[in-house]
Structure 1
Amino acid sequence: MTDDSDGPMWPPEMFKLFTETGEQAVETQQEMFQKMLEASMSGGMDMNMNQLGTMTGTATFKTRVQSGGRISIPDAEREALDIEEGDIVQAVVFPVKRNREE
């Protein structure tokens, strides 16, 4: 077996796995939301719709890596998700395009 360094950085199987994992996460989130909504409607939980909405807030966007490895969340996403300076968020990062010579 040879080391083919000219091959794709991310094999198609990995992209397929990323896609499937993302779809499963969305399905799981939708199922959880549905169950919580049903419990709320039946009186099993004391929760209003604003609290349910904050549990499903996510965003997908492209951004550039800045010096020191920093990334910025665009204004529109920060406003939509009510993210302010100092808030802690979770990020999942996928390289999209590399602009460098290797």
Structure 2
Amino acid sequence: MSDESDGPMWPPAMFKAFQETGEQAVEKQQELLKQMMGGGMSGMDMNQIGAMSQTATFKTRVQSGGRISIPDAEREALDIEEGDIVQTVVIPVKRNRSD
């Protein structure tokens, strides 16, 4: 075994960012559940509820002009067509440059 494999897999700052993002997601899910159980659904429309069940997570490369592509399988599964408006959350995974 080498010493390299014994260290952390991600830099501490990146791990902390992932952890905070995960905690925020759990908080939002708990908040939604409380609203649903407490009859607070009146503030949400059915499109918002349906959209929450239709999500995809994938990795892609940033292309020229800052463009990203949604893979075919995700577009098909979510019935996304050209011209549709989608919401994205971007988390850098790996940088291919020297800082």
How many residues are aligned here? 89
How far apart are the structure 1 equivalents of 2:78 and 2:37? 20
Comparing both structures, which one devotes a greater share of its residues to helix? Answer: 2
Q: Which runs of 4+ in 1 moved over 4 A?
A: none
Q: Per-residue displacement from partner, 1:6-65 (whole Å, max 9, x unpaired)?
A: xxxx851442233232233144235415643774xxxx76xxx89743333222110011
Q: CA RMSD in A?
A: 3.3
Could you tell me how far apart the structure 2 residues matched to 1:83 and 1:71 are?
15
Contact between 1:33 and 1:52, CA under 8 Å: does it hold in 2? no
- Give the TM-score normalised by the residue count of structure 1: 0.59
Alignment of 1:28 with 2:28, yes or no, is yes
The separation in 1 between residues aligned to 2:98 and 2:13, in whole angstroms, is 25
1:57-99 per-position Cα deviation (integer Å, ceiling 9, x unaligned) = 2221100111111000111111222221111122221222222
Q: Aligned partners of 1:97 and 1:33: how far apart in 2?
A: 34
What percentage of aligned pairs have identical amino acids? 76
| Matched residue type, 2:21 | T
What TM-score comes out, normalization by structure 2 length?
0.60
